[in-house]
Amino acid sequence: MYQVLYRKYRPKVFSDVVGQEHITETLSKEIETGKLSHAYLFTGSRGTGKTTCAKILSKAVNCLSPVDGNPCNECEICRGLDSGAILDVVEIDAASNNGVENIRDIREEINFTPASCKYRVYIIDEVHMLSIGAFNALLKTLEEPPAHVKFILATTEVHKLPVTIVSRCQRFDFKRVSPEAMGKRMEYIAEMENLVLDEDAVSLISRIADGGMRDALSLLDQCIGHDRHVTADIVCRVAGMTGKDHLFSLAGAVANKKSADALSLISDLHASSCDMERLCSDMTNHFRNLMIVKTVKDSGSFLVCTKDELSQYKEQSETFTLETILYCISLLQECMANIKRGVNRRTEMEMTFIKLCTPSLSDDNEALLRRISELEIAIKTGAVKAAPTVSAEGYANEPKPEAKAQPEMPKAEQEALKPTFESEPSPEKTAEEPTKQNDAEDEETIPWAEVLSELQKVNAPLWGVLTDSEAVIRGDFVLIKSNNPTLSSFIRISGNARHVKDSILRVTGKEYRLGLYNSNPSPEKKAEPKKDPLQNLISRARDMGVNVDVK
């Protein structure tokens, strides 16, 4: 009769246990020196060797001739325990024997001495499944058992055990088996079974198993049933890793902000009987993989995927910012919680992807961070778009992209930005414009703080220059008051002036031209007529004693 690999190659001595040297060395030393505890607690994830170590320990404490703390596996006690002929080692499944009466039976049995062995050993697997009453019934016995009794408790969820139970045991925490150690064990088994096992297949099985040696051998068993030459492609087919194209397509729709494409894909998947909860979980894991690729240099060791899929992940991660990926994961996890509460699964998925494809629909902090991050990248790359034209009804036209280089402003606008432009009007000025800047009756207030807030979003350097500034409205001009000497040079750049105008437009809904406010104009300077150059020359000649007669 065929025996599965994880049972056929279950370790028989501590040295065969993979990846748990910190535990096996301690246990073998205790057996070698005879310093044994009355109760042990083995914790850790599935398939890491808890039950295996419990069985080896139960044999080692009863072995007639142990070798370096390991059972010899040759004496009658070891052979009897392996075959089941000796009943002094009792394995109990706490999942199905979790009542008070089951613990009472144990309490009655421990009063009898072992029939063949030195110790009666009770291995209680999944001990966290015991009821509260059963734990209470076990407390006193576990603390002070008879000298001929040993308890070994095993669990995957140690946090569910009462602290009174944990404190009465010697605790050992089993780690997840590393992919390297797992690979060596599989290569050894493949050699014993005369299998051909590709290196890529070993690496892929190790990552899929997620630290569980039993899971790795079970998957290897399935692959052997398909073909005795195990390749990465066979592992993918057996593990059900094919068919991820729809995940990349949905993520691409999010990157391109095409909600219609996302809804069409969800509709097709729903028609193909795809479970929406499973789809949500797969999409969460997909964005998690993008996050790993985005943040980790050697991301291949963290992902369970083929080399082709890894290259796809790397390529698609370039279309997302890290803030966007984190936002997507957060929104998908929220969607998963809503689906589990019993709402319409398809509708919830569709709502989630519409939010993912339309960032403006979300106003939480993560969505705002995502949009700010995209804006920062656009500023750095010079891909910032100007604000759209505003009408009375709202935004009417899409903005035109600006060029990277900031051209100089037209000469007419530069003249309008001179501090003395009120005395020397520029060609832009109309007949209705004021001619005296000190005439406070023609000035109107403007919500300048709001304008600066809008400006900060699109042009942080210029916002810093204008931080302590003020402004007023005079006709169709906005006059800026500032003591910063760099303002004049900053505002003359066409791109900077455009940003200020757009910010004013978004706040007031009206387009204005810009000017610099001159709070102390000099009337004498303004009224002084221009001197004739010829008169200057005559005056200088007369000062030198030359008689010049001008008619």
Q: Is residue 412's pLDDT more than 90?
A: no
In a shared domain, residues 25 and 113: yes
In a domain, 542, yes or no: no
CATH number of the domain residue 495 falls in? 3.30.300.180
- Only one residue has tokens 């370039």, namely 318
Give the long-range contacts of residues 455-462, CB within 8 A, separation 24 or more: 455/499, 455/500, 455/503, 457/375, 458/375, 458/379, 458/384, 458/499, 458/502, 458/503, 459/495, 459/496, 459/499, 461/490, 462/490, 462/491, 462/496, 462/499, 462/500
Distance CA 63, CA 435 (A): 110
Sequence-ordered alpha helix ranges (H) in 318-417: 322-340, 345-357, 365-381, 411-416
pLDDT at 438: 46
Q: Which one has a higher pLDDT value, 179 or 547?
A: 179
In a shared domain, residues 168 and 197: no
Among 165-179, 290-304, 362-376, 479-493, which is the least confidently predicted range? 362-376
pLDDT at 436: 46
Element (H, E) at 341: none
Given its phi and psi angles, is residue 7 left (phi above 0), alpha (psi -120 to 50 degrees) or beta?
alpha
Nearest Cα to 54, choosing from 144, 172, 218? Answer: 172
Please tell me which of 231-245, 357-371, 511-525 the model is most confident about, judged by mean pLDDT: 231-245
Structure confidence by residue, pLDDT tens digits, 425-458: 333 333 334 444 445 556 788 888 888 888 888 8
pLDDT at 397: 46
Range of 366's domain?
245-377
Report how far apart, in Å, the C-alpha atoms of 501 and of each of 166, 374, 450, 452, 455 are: 70, 23, 13, 11, 9
**Mean pLDDT, the chain, as a whole number?**
80
pLDDT at 208: 85
* Mean of pLDDT values over 288-295: 91
Q: Which one has a higher pLDDT value, 397 or 161?
A: 161
Q: Which one has a higher pLDDT value, 244 or 391?
A: 244
pLDDT at 513: 84
pTM over 0.85: no
CATH number of the domain residue 266 falls in? 1.20.272.10
In a domain, 204, yes or no: yes
Residue 78 backbone dihedrals phi, psi, to 5 degrees: -60, -45
* Mean of pLDDT values over 488-515: 81
Q: What is the CA radius of gyration of the chain?
A: 40
What's the structural domain count of the chain? 4
- Only one residue has tokens 């290259």, namely 311
In a shared domain, residues 460 and 351: no
In a domain, 550, yes or no: no
Report how far apart, in Å, the C-alpha atoms of 27 and of each of 56, 71, 148, 174, 429 are: 10, 12, 18, 13, 94
DSSP states along 314-336: HHHHTTS-HHHHHHHHHHHHHHH
Please, what's the b/e burial string for 114-147 (b: 16 or more CB within 10 A of its CB; e: otherwise)? beebebbbbbbbbbbbbeeebbebbeebbeebee
Q: Which one has a higher pLDDT value, 266 or 371?
A: 266
In a shared domain, residues 227 and 250: no
User: SS3 sequence, 31-91?
Assistant: HHHCCCCCEEEEECCCCCCHHHHHHHHHHHCCCCCCECCECCCCCHHHHHHHHCCCCCEEE
Among 303-317, 329-343, 352-366, which is the least confidently predicted range? 352-366
In a domain, 265, yes or no: yes
Helices (H) and strands (E) in the chain, counts: 25, 13
- Only one residue has tokens 């009472």, namely 104
pLDDT at 434: 42
Residue 148 binned pLDDT confidence (cut-offs 50, 70, 90):
very high
pLDDT at 475: 81
pLDDT above 90 covers a percentage of the chain that reads: 32
DSSP 230: E
pLDDT at 494: 65
In a shared domain, residues 129 and 183: no
Q: With beta carbons less than 8 A apart as the criterion, state whether 439 and 464 touch.
A: no
Distance CA 206, CA 179 (A): 5
Element (H, E) at 342: none
pLDDT at 548: 53
Residue 315 binned pLDDT confidence (cut-offs 50, 70, 90):
very high
* Mean of pLDDT values over 211-228: 90
Domain-terminating residue out of 173, 193, 221: 173
pLDDT at 175: 92
Helices 259-271 and 276-295, interaxial angle, to 10°? 130
Nearest Cα to 153, choosing from 113, 161, 83, 145? Answer: 161
Q: Is residue 93's pLDDT more than 80?
A: yes
Q: Is residue 480's pLDDT more than 60?
A: yes
pLDDT at 430: 33
Q: With beta carbons less than 8 A apart as the criterion, state whether 351 and 280 touch.
A: no
Domain-terminating residue out of 155, 173, 191: 173
* Mean of pLDDT values over 237-263: 86
In a shared domain, residues 223 and 310: no
pLDDT at 382: 57
Q: Is residue 57's pLDDT more than 90?
A: yes
Among 48-57, 131-140, 251-260, 388-397, which is the least confidently predicted range? 388-397
In a shared domain, residues 148 and 268: no
